[in-house]
């Protein structure tokens, strides 16, 4: 695909969801690596999970003089309009969304508000304040119950198994429509099970650790027969930054009308891990980091349970398009990633409280 090279230095970049896991790491990289960049962070800082973790991330970002934070709701159209008018971002990375597959089953309203209305507001703002590139988070969940693996962006994704997945597929459709109608260069990124230090406490590796520390039992779904393509957060951020610098080119078709400058990529580790292996590596790294004692009885704290609604048995990314267009594929091993998480957890939760 033809790409328009985007220069990130000397630009104003809007990162929505900047108090979130990926948004924090992306903002930090941009602030540290680029010259004369302005990063505008936007987040509602809701209480879906531990707000003190979100506040800690914002405190870290607040140490950079070229970071500006705005607290607000993506569904507030007037606020988004005002933000674009005032700061005129050249590049927008939309990572703000209500996350979580299981939570969407019982709390549909917040997904419609944030993931649909919020994203529509971003698209409208990009339409009325032309940007060089809109990059947005999609999700591996759009593949639903697809049996063919690895998942390719050429696959049909018309059978979501959760509302969360349906909202992410809707984002891709809306972005395509706005790209076609208003010539907005947009790229969607389907992330595969992102993990790492300062991550989301609702994710398995983090939730398991919290439970094991308290001596509670962890539930391993589908009797441990699920496979996940775990992707370390630094790999995700590297992928985002590379994609930000290559917008789909604005070109006309044979009819003389604009072709939509639109693209979608997978970012995953292309190496699905069995959940039981994942739990074994996690427990080894928690012992190594002295988060848990060496004689911890894991077997008595594990329960194998059936598959939960909205879950899928396997996620597996085909990243050949990302590799071809941007020369990058994630490569951090699960053990290395979980080791970094365990060391951070000890520092943040255990050392801090002692």
Per-residue pLDDT tens digits for 89-98: 999 999 999 9
Domain annotation for the chain: domains and CATH numbers: 3-199+232-270+315-331 (3.40.50.720)
Q: What is the predicted pLDDT for the residue at 308? A: 80
pLDDT confidence bin for 314, thresholds 50/70/90:
confident
Q: What is the predicted pLDDT for the residue at 218? A: 94
| Least-confidence region, from 159-163, 167-171, 266-270, 281-285 | 159-163
3-state secondary structure the chain: CCEEECCCCCCEEEEECCCCHHHHHHHHHHHHHCCCCEEEEEECCCCCCCHHHHHHHHHHHCCCCCEEEEECCCCCHHHHHHHHHHHCCCEEEECCCCCCCCHHHHCHHHHHHHHHHHHHHHHHHHHHCCCCEEEEEEEHHHHCCCCCCCECCCCCCCCCCCHHHHHHHHHHHHHHHHHHHHCCCEEEEEECCEECCCCCCCCHHHHHHHHHHCCCCEEEHHHHCCEECCEEHHHHHHHHHHHHCEEECCEECCCCCEECCEEEEEECCCCCEEHHHHHHHHHHHHHHCCCCCCCCCCHHHEEECCCCCCCCCECCECCHHHHHHHCCCCCCCHHHHHHHHHHHHHHHHHHCCC
Which residues are the active-site residues?
A: 164
pLDDT confidence bin for 147, thresholds 50/70/90:
confident
The pTM for the full model equals 0.95
- Whether the pLDDT of residue 353 is over 70: the answer is no
What's the mean pLDDT in 244-256? 92
Q: What is the predicted pLDDT for the residue at 1? A: 62
Q: What is the predicted pLDDT for the residue at 152? A: 96
- Whether the pLDDT of residue 311 is over 80: the answer is no
Per-residue pLDDT tens digits for 183-209: 999 999 999 999 999 999 999 999 999
């Amino acid at each position: 695909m033809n790409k328009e090279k985007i220069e990130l230095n000397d630009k104003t970049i809007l990162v929505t969801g900047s108090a979130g896991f990926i948004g924090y790491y992306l903002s930090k990289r941009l602030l540290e690596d680029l010259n004369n960049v302005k990063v505008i962070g936007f987040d509602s800082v809701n209480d879906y999970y531990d707000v003190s973790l979100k506040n800690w991330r914002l405190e870290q970002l607040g140490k950079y003089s070229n970071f500006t934070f705005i607290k607000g709701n993506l569904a507030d159209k007037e606020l988004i309009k005002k933000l674009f008018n005032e700061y005129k971002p050249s590049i927008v990375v939309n990572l703000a969304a209500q996350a979580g597959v299981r939570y969407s089953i019982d709390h549909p309203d917040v997904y419609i508000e944030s993931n649909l209305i919020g994203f529509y507001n971003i698209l409208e703002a990009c339409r009325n304040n032309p940007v060089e590139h809109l990059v947005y988070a999609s999700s591996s969940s759009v593949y639903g119950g697809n049996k063919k693996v690895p998942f390719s962006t050429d696959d049909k994704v018309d059978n979501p198994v959760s509302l969360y997945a349906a909202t992410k597929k809707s984002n891709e459709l809306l972005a395509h429509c706005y790209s076609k109608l208003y010539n907005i260069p947009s790229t969607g990124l389907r992330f595969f099970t992102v993990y790492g230090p300062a991550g989301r406490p609702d994710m398995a590796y983090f939730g398991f650790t919290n439970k094991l520390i308290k001596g509670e039992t962890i539930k391993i779904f589908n009797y441990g027969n699920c496979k996940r393509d775990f992707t370390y957060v630094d790999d995700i951020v590297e992928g985002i930054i590379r994609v930000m610098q290559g917008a789909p080119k604005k070109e006309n078709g044979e009819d003389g009308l604009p072709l939509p400058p639109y693209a979608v990529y997978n970012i995953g580790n292309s190496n699905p891990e069995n959940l039981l292996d994942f739990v074994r590596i996690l427990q080894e790294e928690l012992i190594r980091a002295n988060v848990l004692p060496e004689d911890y009885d894991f077997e008595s704290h594990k329960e194998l349970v059936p598959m939960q609604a909205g879950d899928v048995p396997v996620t597996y990314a085909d990243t050949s398009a990302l590799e071809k267009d941007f020369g990058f594929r994630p490569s951090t091993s699960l053990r290395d990633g979980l080791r970094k998480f365990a060391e951070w957890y000890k520092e943040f939760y255990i050392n801090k409280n002692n």
